[in-house]
Amino acid sequence: MASQLAALNQWVEQVARLTTPDAIHWCDGSDAELQQLQRGMLEAGILLPLNPDTHPNCFLHRSDPGDVARVEHLTFVCTKDRDDAGPNNHWMAPEAAHEKIDALFAGCMKGRTLYVVPYCMGPVDSPLARCGVEITDSPYVVANMRMMTRMGAAALARIEREGRFVKGLHSTGELDPDRRFIMHFPEELTIKSFGSGYGGNALLGKKCHALRIASYQARQEGWLAEHMLIVGIENPEGKTHYVAAAFPSACGKTNLAMLIPPAAYREKGWKVWTVGDDICWMQPGPDGRLWAINPEAGYFGVAPGTSAKTNPNALAMLDRDAIFTNVGTTADNQPWWEGLDGVPALDWQGRPFDRANGPAAHPNARFTVSAKQCPSYSPEAENPQGVPISAIVFGGRRESLVPLVFEARDWRHGVLVGASMGSETTAAATGAVGVMRRDSMAMKPFCGYNFADYFAHWLSFDRADLKLPTIFHVNWFRKGSDGKFLWPGFGDNLRVLEWMIGRIEGRLPARETPIGIVPDAVDLNVEGLAMAPGALKTLLEVDVEAWQHELLSIGEYLDGFGPRMPAALRQEQARVASALAVMAPRPVARAANA
């Protein structure tokens, strides 16, 4: 099989000459093809069957112990001008990058099959969708891409019609960490990844295409490619508001995407619909609103921490037709990770479980599953026009300072809120507790160009002809003096979303503060919550003096991106700082070493 598109055929032939595979297979995305792939991987030990009674058509993959996560230090954005990549990316000149990685690709597929994987990010008939082709020598990647994208004949047909596609070349190589690179060439719409079989490094439709390359494309074409979930909130009257939300890791992103309303809300008729859990592409529609699609067709989720308590919807979709990567197993061969009932027999490396070796599942263990298996799946995920976004939510993990929720006063202020968002690290993540790290729009590892230009692109949507979403910031992680969380989180986060909807619909009054609009305690429904006395007051308070220090820190952060930083964002930071100064009991001096 070959394509009707000469440019695609020529590229495949060029890659085949470089990598010298034993065979070339053009993927059509059929069930028969998948079954053949699965049989081959079972025979080769790439996949291991799980208990067919409890988990039919589910498989376990154990990756190389040195290849278990994204490798940011080996991930490069390769633009002609270094400043176009920006200080937020590792940079390499395109010519040098091609030369370096092509030397690794030379002959790397000898003895292997070269798979040509045409895919579409988003519904195949959506004007918001974009297509790509990944060439890989990993059948595991092919099986995952089939779940994560619209892969196969229909995608190829669109590529042939449009004549354009993102090129992605991948090989697992020898899985040698010293011979591993993930290169992005946004000006060429090209990705090259060598030496890793791990999801984010190898499933090139995901972070590489859908964020790093797509963010560059979006800037050129006037839309936004964002690291955001999309969730629909349906009220008892049957009206649904769609919310896009960006959170750094370990901040409850997937839990919010699949939120189950509290019992009292369910009884009144509230419903939550999951459109996407990770990536959101937004584009202005004819009506001036931002319309969004989830470009993915599946979930590549973190397994540890997914439990009946934290995310029952996610757990419910994992009992069939799923691939598990680097989880443990029970004595009766069911997948297991920390947070589940039962006892592990083997750890993620296939060894008898021993606590001395660490957790049974790798902390970054994953599941891959079709989005349609989620109990809260929204059929609107397949709507080619997308869904209209009513609100954009930013959030981080802050033990103090940041209120439970506040609303940006306008779009420009909202861009500052997103640009300055951050999280305090946990010991599990870094070995250091409480270090505040900024992760603008949760895009720090994923923006394919200079953050200063990215902020300017966000600001460019502030136009009279657009009806932009309201921007909010949330913080589920504020703690009291006893070190305990003040807010219950999980399903009760719907109470905060209800307040947002009240604000969007103009039904609730505003309490203006220098940092934004904060709820009055009476406007937040906490009926039935067992909260400590004074907890709600603490959750909603704005410490003016502490926020002055925060605004100084934000100013220094923005300065770090140099002369490209848009003046409008600096002016907005100065406006908030001035509003705080008016209310402050005494001025806050800039730190001596700042």
Kindly tell me if the per-residue pLDDT of 427 is higher than 70.
Answer: no
CA distance linking residue 48 with residue 324, whole number of Å? 10
Q: Which long-range contacts (CB under 8 A, 24 or more apart) does 507-512 make?
A: 510/407, 512/409
**Is residue 252 part of an annotated ligand binding site?**
yes
**Nearest alpha carbon to residue 234 among 497, 459, 463:** 497
| pTM, 2 dp | 0.96
CA distance linking residue 529 with residue 569, whole number of Å? 39
CA distance linking residue 430 with residue 403, whole number of Å? 25
**Is residue 366 part of an annotated ligand binding site?**
yes
What does each C-alpha distance from 344 to 57, 173, 310, 359, 449 come to in angstroms? 21, 32, 20, 10, 43
- Give the contacts of 189 (CB within 8 A, at least 6 positions apart): 164, 165, 166, 167, 213, 217
Kindly tell me if the per-residue pLDDT of 433 is higher than 80.
Answer: no
Per-residue confidence (pLDDT) for residue 592, from 0 to 100: 38
Helices (H), ranges, 449-543 = 451-459, 494-504, 535-540
**Is residue 198 part of an annotated ligand binding site?**
yes
Per-residue confidence (pLDDT) for residue 587, from 0 to 100: 60
Kindly tell me if the per-residue pLDDT of 320 is higher than 80.
Answer: yes
**Is residue 480 part of an annotated ligand binding site?**
no
Domain ranges of the chain: 6-48+68-222, 226-297+379-542, 299-370, 547-583
**Both tokens assigned to 402:** 């940041």
**Is residue 491 part of an annotated ligand binding site?**
yes
Topology (CATH) of 6-48+68-222: Phosphoenolpyruvate Carboxykinase; domain 1 (3.40.449)
CA atoms within 13 A on the CB side of 29: 18
What does each C-alpha distance from 475 to 400, 449, 485, 496, 545 come to in angstroms? 9, 28, 11, 10, 19
Percent with pLDDT over 70 in the chain: 97
**Is residue 555 part of an annotated ligand binding site?**
no
**Nearest alpha carbon to residue 374 among 495, 238, 257:** 257
**Is residue 462 part of an annotated ligand binding site?**
no
**Where residue 435 falls among pLDDT bands split at 50, 70, 90?**
confident
Contact 366/302 with Cβ under 8 angstroms? yes
**Is residue 255 part of an annotated ligand binding site?**
yes
**591 three-class SS:** coil
Per-residue confidence (pLDDT) for residue 24, from 0 to 100: 98
**Is residue 271 part of an annotated ligand binding site?**
no
- Give the contacts of 350 (CB within 8 A, at least 6 positions apart): 62
**Both tokens assigned to 527:** 């009926």
**Where residue 120 falls among pLDDT bands split at 50, 70, 90?**
very high
User: Across the beta sheet with 335-336, what order do the strands follow?
Assistant: 335-336, 328-330, 344-346
**Is residue 365 part of an annotated ligand binding site?**
yes
**Is residue 251 part of an annotated ligand binding site?**
yes
Per-residue confidence (pLDDT) for residue 593, from 0 to 100: 38
Does domain 226-297+379-542 fall under CATH 1.10.760.10? My reply is no
Per-residue confidence (pLDDT) for residue 318, from 0 to 100: 98
Kindly tell me if the per-residue pLDDT of 456 is higher than 90.
Answer: yes
**Is residue 278 part of an annotated ligand binding site?**
yes
Residue 342 backbone dihedrals phi, psi, to 5 degrees: 90, -175
**Both tokens assigned to 267:** 């009884």
Q: What is the pLDDT of residues 266-313, one digit of tens each?
A: 999 999 999 999 999 999 999 999 999 999 999 999 999 899 988 999
Topology (CATH) of 299-370: Phosphoenolpyruvate Carboxykinase; domain 2 (2.170.8)
Per-residue confidence (pLDDT) for residue 594, from 0 to 100: 36
Q: What is the pLDDT of residues 544-563, one digit of tens each?
A: 999 999 999 999 999 999 99
Please state the separation of Cα 93 from the chain's center in Å.
27
**Is residue 326 part of an annotated ligand binding site?**
no
Neighbouring C-beta atoms of residue 178, cutoff 10 Å: 7
Contact 491/260 with Cβ under 8 angstroms? yes
CA distance linking residue 196 with residue 65, whole number of Å? 11
Per-residue confidence (pLDDT) for residue 378, from 0 to 100: 98
Amino acid, single-letter form, for residue 236:
P
Per-residue confidence (pLDDT) for residue 425, from 0 to 100: 74
Q: State the chain's mean pLDDT as an integer.
A: 95
Amino acid, single-letter form, for residue 263:
A
What letters, b where the CB count within 10 A reaches 16 and e where it falls short, cover 458-483? bbebeeeeeebbbbbbbbbbbeeeee
Which are the catalytic amino acids?
251
Q: What is the pLDDT of residues 58-114, one digit of tens each?
A: 999 999 999 998 899 999 999 999 999 999 999 999 999 999 999 999 999 999 999
Radius of gyration of the chain (CA): 24
**20 three-class SS:** coil
